[in-house]
Amino acid sequence: MLVEIKPVTRIEGHLYAYIDIGEGGARVQLRAEGFRGFEKILIGRPIEEAPNIVPRICGVCPVAHHLASVKAVEAALGVEIPRASRMVREVMGLGGVAQSHLLQLGFLLYPDIEHGEEVRNIYSTQLFKMFIVLRKCVLRIVDISGGRHVHPFNAVPGGVLKLPLREDIDVMRTEAKNGLKILSELYGELRERIESFIESNTDVVYRRKSMAVLVGSKEIEFYDGMVKIIDDNNAELLFQPSRYMEFIVEEPIEYSYSKNVYITINGAKKIFRVGPLSRLTTLREIQHGVSGEFYKDFKAVLSKWPQHPLLYNLARLIEVAYCLEKIIEVLDELQNTPATPRAKTMVEEGEGIGIVEAPRGLLIHHYRCSGDGLITYANIITPTTMNIAAMEQDIKELVETLIERQLNNVEYIKKRVLYLIRSYDPCISCSTHTIHISPNSSS
Amino acid sequence: MTINIGIVSLAYCAGCEVAIASMERFCGLIGSGMVRIAYSTLLVDREELENVDILFVTGSIRTYEDIAIIKEASRKALKIVAFGSCACFGGIPGLANTIEREELLREIFSPLKPSTTNSRSKLTRFIVPLNTIVKIDYMVPGCPPPEPLIETLLDSLIYGKEFVLPKVSVCNECPLNRDDKKPLKKPRRKLLALNDIDINTCFLKQGILCMGPATLAGCKALCPSKGAPCIGCMGPLPNSKDQAADMIDALSIFYSVEPPEEILKAIPDPIGLLSMFTLPYSTIPYHRRVGGERIEKDVSRD
Ligand code: SF4
Ligand code: SF4
Ligand code: SF4
């Protein structure tokens, strides 16, 4: 039996799912379309333009690309940025994560958690309207800190172009507080819906997966730190971003243009997951008020269904609260930090790597430039590319379990696969910035 | 009456969709039933495009499949909007037009072997603007299209007002424009200029490349008013043949300095910097290296 989902809807990008169910089990192919070739486009461009060009890889998480890129440029040029500009970038980054999560929860996932009711027009529901207002609060924060929420431009090599003025800081703080208030009103109902959505999908038990996250000075570190890997046997590994090539491997697939991404730990090559679920699973506690409380709910659900991929959705909700609270904290600090927007930059030869936690997980930008500051090499690994192998493995397990239980109605299988894929919130434009994915990893 | 909108995305980043979906007014129109999204893989759960009143096309044309999709979709639409600079001019993915298709693939997939399967759709030799494939009714440029322009578009959809683009340049809307063109500093590269940039003074006057004079207004000079030089995302002015050529004109007004090599040092990558969003639309014969390709236009709507 062949189950084809063409296209996968309510996700970003063009993705087709092919599931071939036979005697030996299910073979899964996630095939992504939409080639643009950014790594090649960057060659020969002035290195300071990279942070302007790469947000166009993805309009859902442009802030993450903007920041990973500018960090890679600074690593290549050997620049340390002033504290104030780092804080502005952190605010931008946190806002970028929150807006992307709200886009997924509101526009993409919401129809699935409407208690199965046939909702004709979700845009007319009260809950959705509140989503829109909440997201608008976050967008204003990104507009001020980043310049514009789709395709920000404020970060430049050395720092930021514009530091927010006192009034700007006040506006952002008010927006974050308002956002938090709306979120608290939404939370109870949303949590309940997401939990029952998860619960009605717990008839399938998924294999444990390895995880990779960024760790730094904050409970959840989005901007800068070391990469931590926890594998499926709980073995841990910590490394500097500059050493990513030793631990994160991209592998050619003989019969296609695709690359698969694995982590290597203790000599073994493993499929892994990145993103909100991995971030919240590897975390011990959140000290903050509201998100700290929410996190307790998350942990209760996590202990019931450890690592269940549909928990991604609940993790997103918790992270929105976390981001808003962190934004307020960083803004308070920014207000008392010397207002130096940029450090001095020079044109020189170099190589640099920038890693951030994007909404969907680790994002790596890696550039080299010549003595005249023109890019000679670029490599970009996005979180969706990292997650594709795990998604395929999960789909395989899901479909095989359903078949075993005689739940072999095609429409039903499709529906369950869509729930699973959407929970990962894949961003296909990210994953195909360079490549086409048609792996056959599950055989 | 409900206006049915279809959104077909080609090689895109979804920023155009995010930009419009982020507008409260747009969501309100859907909520009230004035507008219905009949198709969009991002926003709704429908596998096939049905007949629509208006079709938004986002993204650029990168594969033969894109061409087939757009020809097919255009037959189901009363009006077509090229939404965003990718659809209007090729956009940033169009920068790949100076690279041969085979080279593009080789470099990126090396050391991977080329595919032997045919599951992927084949790349066109280069990216072409949408209006060379089908007739379009409205162009809404920008990367992404700026909010004021989307507002005007919504007005025209709801109230039937004719949608018209501005006719002036970004400089006309720029708060840093003081009408005095006397340069304060010599032209120099952005990376170096960052060390002493003054975000409250016209960038061109400070010797920093700002695409304002050669770029269509409509964004209320978003970037310069927030401290960043314009990179030209709205594309050329009406009747312009080439945004890069217009910018070179503008530079010669600001900087009659000799020798011209000085300006080239300040603009180390003229193709990328002067045509960042419009290379496929440009008249500079960069295609010569890549080779030509004839793609049939669907003339049924002409
Ligand atoms: S025009 Fe810009 S925002 Fe729109 S799809 Fe292209 S790159 Fe994305
Ligand atoms: S050149 Fe740039 S900064 Fe100067 S007036 Fe024009 S848009 Fe504004
Ligand atoms: S100022 Fe220039 S780059 Fe910025 S939005 Fe306007 S046209 Fe685009």
**In CATH, what number is assigned to the domain containing residue B117?**
3.40.50.700
- Per-residue pLDDT at B117 exceeds 50: no
Based on the fold, state whether residues B131 and B14 are members of the same structural domain: yes
Asked if the structure places residue B291 within a domain, the reply is: no
Based on the fold, state whether residues B182 and B117 are members of the same structural domain: no
CA distance A111 to chain B (A): 9
Which residue in the set A9, A45, A62 is minimally distant from B272, CB to CB? A45
Give residues (CB < 6 A) around ligand 3: B 146, 170, 215, 219, 221-224, 230-234
Q: In this complex, is the C-beta atom of A440 within 8 Å of any C-beta atom belonging to chain B?
A: no
3-class SS of residue A433: coil
Residue type, A161: L
A49/B273 Cβ within 8 A: yes
Query: Residue A79 in contact with residue A343, Cβ under 8 Å?
Result: yes
Kind of pairing between the strands at A226-230 and A210-215: antiparallel
Q: Which atom of ligand 3 is nearest to the CA of B222?
A: 1
For chain B, how big is the Rg over CA atoms in Å? 21
Q: In this complex, is the C-beta atom of A111 within 8 Å of any C-beta atom belonging to chain B?
A: yes
Q: Which atom of ligand 1 is nearest to the CA of B142?
A: 1
Q: What is the mean pLDDT of residues B70-75?
A: 92
Asked if the structure places residue B216 within a domain, the reply is: yes
Based on the fold, state whether residues B141 and B25 are members of the same structural domain: yes
CB pairs under 8 A between A and B: 228
Contacting A residues, span 127-146, partner chain B, CB-CB under 8 Å: 128-129, 132-133, 135-136, 139
Which residue in chain B has the smallest CA separation from A45?
B269
pLDDT at B115: 44
Of the residues B202, B209, B226, B249, which should be mutated to test ligand 2's pocket, given the most ligand atoms within 8 Å of the CB? B202
Q: In this complex, is the C-beta atom of B47 within 8 Å of any C-beta atom belonging to chain A?
A: yes
DSSP for A113-130? GSTT---S-GGGSHHHHH
| Residue B286: pLDDT band with limits 50, 70, 90 | low
Query: Residue A279 in contact with residue A315, Cβ under 8 Å?
Result: yes
pLDDT at A176: 98
pLDDT at A228: 96
Ligand number nearest to the C-alpha of A429: 1
Q: In this complex, is the C-beta atom of A81 within 8 Å of any C-beta atom belonging to chain B?
A: no
Contacting A residues, span 157-216, partner chain B, CB-CB under 8 Å: 157-158, 161-162
3-class SS of residue B93: helix
Q: In this complex, is the C-beta atom of A79 within 8 Å of any C-beta atom belonging to chain B?
A: no
Who's near A190: CB < 8 A, 6+ residues apart? Answer: A105, A113, A127, A317
Which residue in the set B33, B104, B227 is minimally distant from A40, CB to CB? B104
- State how far the Cα of B276 lies from the Cα of B92, in Å rounded to an integer: 6
Q: What is the mean pLDDT of chain A?
A: 90
| Residue B287: pLDDT band with limits 50, 70, 90 | low
Q: What are the extents of the domains in chain A? A: 2-431
B27/A123 Cβ within 8 A: yes
Asked if the structure places residue B299 within a domain, the reply is: no
CA distance B42 to chain A (A): 5
Based on the fold, state whether residues B153 and B237 are members of the same structural domain: no
Q: Number of folded domains in chain B?
A: 2
- Per-residue pLDDT at A254 exceeds 50: no
- Per-residue pLDDT at B45 exceeds 90: no
Asked if the structure places residue B126 within a domain, the reply is: yes
pLDDT at B112: 47
Model confidence over B168-223: pLDDT tens digits?
A: 999 999 999 987 778 888 888 999 999 999 999 999 999 999 999 999 999 999 99
- Per-residue pLDDT at B80 exceeds 80: yes
Which residue in the set A35, A43, A157 is minimally distant from B191, CB to CB? A157
pLDDT at B289: 55
Q: Which of A110-119, A409-418, B171-180 has the lowest mean pLDDT?
A: A110-119
Question: Which residue's C-alpha comes closest to atom 7 of ligand 1?
Answer: A56
Based on the fold, state whether residues B151 and B176 are members of the same structural domain: no
Based on the fold, state whether residues B183 and B247 are members of the same structural domain: yes
Question: Which residue's C-alpha comes closest to atom 4 of ligand 1?
Answer: B16
**% of chain A at pLDDT higher than 70:** 93
- Per-residue pLDDT at A224 exceeds 60: yes
Model confidence over A312-354: pLDDT tens digits?
A: 999 999 999 999 999 999 999 999 999 999 999 999 999 999 9
Q: Which two tokens stand for residue B241?
A: 């043949």
Q: Which residues of A touch B276 (CB under 8 A)?
A: 52-53
- Per-residue pLDDT at B141 exceeds 90: yes
Based on the fold, state whether residues B174 and B152 are members of the same structural domain: no
Please give the residue that has the higher pLDDT: either B256 or A168.
A168
B191/A345 Cβ within 8 A: yes
- Per-residue pLDDT at A433 exceeds 60: no
Q: What is the mean pLDDT of residues A272-288?
A: 91
Best mean pLDDT range from A49-53, A378-382, B31-35: A49-53
Q: Domain A2-431 adopts which CATH fold?
A: Cytochrome-c3 Hydrogenase; chain B (1.10.645)
Best mean pLDDT range from A6-10, A50-54, A106-110, B109-113: A50-54
Model confidence over A88-108: pLDDT tens digits?
A: 999 999 999 999 999 999 999
Of the residues B203, B231, B246, which should be mutated to test ligand 2's pocket, given the most ligand atoms within 8 Å of the CB? B203
- Per-residue pLDDT at A256 exceeds 50: no
Q: Is B222 close to ligand 2, i.e. is its CB under 6 Å away? A: no
Spell out the alpha helix ranges (H) of A231-355. Answer: 244-247, 276-281, 289-304, 311-335
Q: What is the pTM of this model?
A: 0.95
Best mean pLDDT range from A62-71, A286-295, A301-310: A62-71
| Residue A31: pLDDT band with limits 50, 70, 90 | confident
Asked if the structure places residue B94 within a domain, the reply is: yes
Q: In this complex, is the C-beta atom of B62 within 8 Å of any C-beta atom belonging to chain A?
A: yes
B15/A59 Cβ within 8 A: yes
Based on the fold, state whether residues B265 and B154 are members of the same structural domain: no
Based on the fold, state whether residues B127 and B228 are members of the same structural domain: no
- Per-residue pLDDT at A358 exceeds 80: yes
3-class SS of residue A190: helix
Domain coverage including residue B60: 3-159
Ligand number nearest to the C-alpha of B234: 3
Based on the fold, state whether residues B99 and B78 are members of the same structural domain: yes
Crossing angle of the two packed helices A166-199 and A126-146, in degrees rounded to 10: 140
Q: Which two tokens stand for residue B10?
A: 């080609």
- Per-residue pLDDT at A365 exceeds 60: yes
Residue A201 DSSP symbol: T
End residue of a domain, out of B159, B193, B211: B159
pLDDT at B292: 60
B63/A107 Cβ within 8 A: no
pLDDT at B291: 58
Q: How far is the CA of B220 from the centre of ligand 1 (A)?
A: 19
Which residue in chain A has the smallest CA separation from B97?
A41
B144/A150 Cβ within 8 A: yes
- Per-residue pLDDT at B65 exceeds 90: no
Model confidence over A66-92: pLDDT tens digits?
A: 999 999 999 999 999 999 999 999 999
